[in-house]
Structure 1
Amino acid sequence: MLNRTVAPESQAVNHINLIEPGHAALPNGCQVYWFNSGDQDLVRVEWIFNNLRFDKQKPLLNMAVNTMLTEGTANLTAAQIADSIDYYGAFLQAEYGYDQSQLTLYSLNRHLEHTLPVVVDVLTNSQFPQNELDTFVRNQQQKLQVSLQKNDILARRAFNKAVYSDTIYGLSANAIDYQQLQRTDMLSHFKQMYQPANCTLVISGKVDEATLQQVTGAFANWQNSFEPADTTQPSITPVTERFFYTEKPEALQSAIRMGLPMVNRSHPDFPALQVLNTVLGGYFGSRLMANIREDKGYTYGIGSGISSLKHGAAFFIATEVGADVCRSAVEEIEKEINLLRSELISEEELSLVKNYMQGSLLGSLENVFSHADKFKNVYFSGLGFDYYDRYTEVIKSITAEELQTLANKYLNFDEFYKVIVGKY
């Protein structure tokens, strides 16, 4: 009988066993990666495109074009697209990201012959009907109006604008930006961006040879346009001002967002910085949570993170606190930053964080789709799967002295961009 009074013995994570993808390059330039695992008759197909170069005069094109991909083609209305997918119990979703945008299909393998032709039509014949565009603009303006009433949204917009300046990462859309969307611009953008030479196709699930041939064969006639996709991006120049305060005299809570530009996943220091971030504010037992939530009671939640993007990155701390304790909360955040720079992390705390991070990594690999997601993280950062071996090795071996050195190198509170929305 299992003795439930004895805790199971903990085991160190020595290696992350990731599913290696198959790879092929199609004649039209599309790069195909596939992950075959499991017995369930289910497949996820992702068509991933690098976004076109950001244009400050037309800032919403990347987002609007991707969001409206399924709103009508030359052959199908938005309702017909939805019905054609729903009928077979499949799911089709357009997802926009700062660096890449994608169209994702979940389908039973046996229904691919019916669902794939719909995707082909979407990726080759999207028309962005004017009536659907008018509805999209109206809905987005209403959502924006609601969002701009929230202090945390205003703080995030101001922080991104400061750190990433006039790039796609720093975009803070206004109502007039939606009004300037033109169907002709969207059609031109679509033809340049959504072509096979700018596409990475990732297939995961039960992917046997027949399924692979079926997916790639459906796009055999997919051709590139005459104009190559321009996916370069403007350089990032953070602004010089460091403090941004939007006063709201009636606010009961103040939103705090602060941080600074950081190295991204491709930098050798990134795994170690993830450990440092976890200690500070990267999990529920972090120092920021222990101090500002548990001890002081200033907030329900506070956290820190590193947003790793293709052309940039930022370290940030975010929270909402009672308006009357906003200044005190900022002082406590500064104290925690300075403690990382001046005092060594105890062996007990560091061991807890290491175990948490290794366990989280293992727990995130729950199915074949998770393995595909891990692949995308490194692939679009220009890295290989050996990144995760380096990552786990850093977590296991990093010392308190090394973390203190990193804190002094990267976390100077005087250089932080600080955004306050509410009362201070």
Structure 2
Amino acid sequence: MINRKSAPESRAIDNIKLIKPELTELGNGCKLFCFNSGDQELVRIEWIFGNLTFDPAKPLLNMAVNTMLTDGTSSLTASEIADKIDFYGAFLQVDYGYENSQVTLYTLNKHLPKTLPVIADILNNSVFPQKELETFKRNQQQKLQVSTQKNDILARRAFNRAVYGATIFGYAAEMEDYQTLHRDDMLVHYKQMYQPSNCTIIISGKVESQTLALVTDTFGNKWINGADPAITTQPQFKPAADLFYFTERPEALQSAIRIGTPVINRSHPDFQSLQVLNTVLGGYFGSRLMANIREDKGYTYGIGSGLASFKQGGAFFLATEVGADVCKAAVAEIEKEINLLKTEPVPDDELSLVRNYMLGSTLGSLENIFSHADKFKTIYFAGLDYDYYDRYTDTVKNITSEKLIKLANTYFNFDQFYKVIVGKY
């Protein structure tokens, strides 16, 4: 019998073991990574494509083409695609990201012979019907109209433009941009981007030999590359010269604050150490920003900071919404907390708590085979290997307060941070 009056024994996390995939390179240039584990007859298959180089004259193509993949093919309407997937209890979704876009299918293994042909049809024969395109543009414009009334959305858009410049990372859609979307352009974009040489397939779950054979057969030699290769290189960040951006909204009850700066990305040796520093500052509920600005001052319901990592570089950012009457005071407290990291060592008990949180969160996130596949995607598309996670664990366990002070002085210069405020100041 378990003695429930005694707390479970706690143990230090020595290392985090990750399941590694098996690689199959198909003849058409597509790479297939397989994570085989689990007892349930279920698989998740992801088709991941690099976005084509951002074109400022046609800025919505990557997003629009990905979003509308399931809106009809030469043989199936949008409703027929949905019905076929739903009939077999499967789930299909499309996701757009700055660097990659993907199609994801969750399905029982026994239904793969029926569901995979639907995906093959989408990736080979999508037609982007004009009627669906007009509906898409109208819906997106309505969503944009609503979202741009929100202070936090406006602050995020302005911050990204300042930090990343006129790139896919800094771009924010305007109403008139939807008028640049034309079906002919989308078809050309689709044929160039959604081809096997620009695709990585990741299959995870209970992957039996017949399952792998079916996926390989469907998306191997039967899937043919187009005439034009996919050009996926994105331009470098172009940070703005101005550091302060204020949009006044006289009726605002709250002010949105975004503060940050370009920094290193995941491939830099300091990145994992910077993750520790960020966690201390604002990366979890017990962080210094939360303790000060939420718990002590009561200026906000929540505040947090994070690190964004892309192939071209990275960024540090923090975000919150505070009472409009305390906006200046909140910014002053944020500056104080950042500067403290540059001068005062993080106490041992606080650093120990952060270590336990970070390692525990990583371990807790590995709840199933899909989670292991997600961890792989993080390093694979950043051009890294599994030793990244070994270095991460070692860094979190052994980093010192002196190292954190040095990092703060290297990367955190509040005077050179971009500061965006929407509301009152």
- Tell me the TM-score normalised to structure 1 length: 0.99
List runs of 5+ in structure 1 lacking aligned partners.
none
Give 3-state SS (helix, strand or coil) of 1:421's partner.
strand
State how far apart, in whole Å, the 1-side matches of 2:15 and 2:224 are: 41
Aligned position for 2:35? 35
Unaligned runs of 5+ in 2: none
In structure 2, the residue matched to 1:261 is 262
Following the alignment from structure 2 to structure 1, what is the Cα–Cα distance between the partners of residues 315 and 106? 33
**1:308: Cα distance to partner?**
1.2
Give the CA deviation at 1:18. Answer: 0.7
Deviation for aligned residue 1:20: 1.0
One-letter amino acid of the structure 2 residue matched with residue 86 of structure 1: D
How many Å apart are 1:307 and its aligned residue?
Answer: 1.1
Counterpart Cα distance in 2 of 1:24 and 1:85: 27
> For residue 234 of structure 1, what is the aligned residue in structure 2?
235
Q: CA deviation at 1:364?
A: 0.3
Query: Quick check: 1:144 aligned with 2:144?
Result: yes
Q: Offset at 1:310?
A: 2.3
Mapped to 2, the partners of 1:7 and 1:35 lie a distance apart of: 35
Query: Paired residue for 1:175?
Result: 175
Count of paired positions: 424
Post-superposition Cα deviations, 1:195-235, rounded to whole Å, max 9, x if no partner, equal 00000000000012111011111123111111010111112
Aligned to 2:61: 61
Supply the AA of the counterpart residue of 1:29: G
- CA drift of 1:386 comes to 1.3
- Using the TM superposition, give the Cα deviation of residue 346 of structure 1 relative to its aligned residue in structure 2, in angstroms: 0.1
Which residue number corresponds to residue 15 of structure 1? Answer: 15
Q: Alignment RMSD, CA only?
A: 0.7
**C-alpha separation in 1, matches of 2:75 and 2:256:** 47
Instruction: Give the secondary-structure state (helix, strand or coil) at the position aligned to 1:169.
Output: coil
Distance in 1, Cα, partners of 2:13 & 2:97: 32
Aligned partner of 2:198: which letter?
A: N
Q: Which residue of 2 aligns with 1:70?
A: 70
2:404 is matched with 403
The residue aligned with 2:26 is 26
SS for the counterpart of 1:135 is helix
Q: Aligned with 1:92: secondary structure?
A: strand
Q: For the residues of structure 2 that align with 1:390 and 1:209, how far apart are their CA atoms?
A: 34
C-alpha displacement of 1:6: 2.6
Residue 282, structure 1, aligned to residue 283, structure 2: yes
Q: 1:298 is paired with a residue of what secondary structure? A: coil
Deviation at 1:3, TM superposition (A): 2.8
Partner of 2:375: 374
Aligned-partner SS, 1:75 = coil
Q: Cα deviations across residues 12-57 of structure 1 (Å, max 9, x unaligned)?
A: 1111111110001100000010000011000000000000000000
Deviations 1:294-350 (A, max 9, x none): 000000000000011222211001000000000000000000000000100000000
Whichever residue aligns with residue 211 of structure 1, its letter is T
Secondary structure of the structure 1 residue equivalent to 2:70: coil
- Same amino acid, percent of matched pairs: 69
1:107 corresponding residue in structure 2? 107
Cα distance in structure 2, aligned partners of 1:208 and 1:48: 22
1:94 has 2:103 as partner: no
Q: Distance in 2 between matches of 1:5 and 1:333?
A: 42
Distance 2:216 2:301 in 1: 49
Q: TM-score, length-normalised on structure 2?
A: 0.99
The 5 A counterparts of 1:339-418 are: 339-418=340-419
Between the aligned partners of 1:221 and 1:394, the Cα distance in structure 2 is 46
The residue identity in structure 2 corresponding to 1:165 is G
Shift of 1:127: 0.4
Counterpart amino acid of 1:151? N
Distance 2:256 2:142 in 1: 22
> Which amino acid in 2 is paired with 1:222?
W
Amino acid at match of 1:32: L
Secondary structure of the corresponding residue to residue 93 of structure 2: strand
Whole-angstrom distance in 1 between the partners of 2:4 and 2:421: 49
Q: The residue matched to 1:419 in structure 2 has which SS?
A: strand
